[in-house]
Structures are given as structure tokens and as C-alpha cells.
Amino acid sequence: MGDYIVLGIVAVVLIAVIIYIVKQKKNGTKCIGCPSGKKCGSCSGCCDLNSKTK
């Protein structure tokens, strides 16, 4: 029974994240979760900076 509860919680969180991403893309956000706070034009600077540090 506990497994179904955990599975339900994970499913709800996953659906909420997908809905958030779809809404942000419809609003024209180029890079969701950008540390520049949506101030970069095409995220060529901030997102590349994050990928180089990995």
C-alpha cells in the first residue's frame, strides 16, 4: 500500500513539472531555470557557462 502512495506522489510531482515546463515554453522562455533570471537574450552565455563547469 505504501508503494502506491509513493508512486502517486512521484506521479503528481512529475506531472506538475511537465505542466510548468510547457507553460514556460508557451510564454517564450528560452531557458527555464536560467541563473540570470530571464535576463539573457538567448541563453548563449549563461547556459554555456554552466555546461563548461561540469
Span 29-46, pLDDT tens digits: 777 777 665 566 655 555
CA distance 11 to 1: 16
Residue 54 confidence class, pLDDT cut points 50, 70, 90: very low
The owner of cell 528560452 is: 30
Among 30, 50, 49, which residue's Cα sits nearest to residue 40? 30
State residue 46's pLDDT score.
57
Residue 28 confidence class, pLDDT cut points 50, 70, 90: confident
Query: In total, how many domains does the chain have?
Result: 1
User: Could you give the 3-state DSSP secondary structure of residue 53?
Assistant: coil
- The boundaries of the domain holding residue 44 are 2-52
Query: What single string gives the DSSP state of each residue in 1-47?
Result: -HHHHHHHHHHHHHHHHHHHHHHHHHTT-SSTT-TT-S-SSSSTTHH
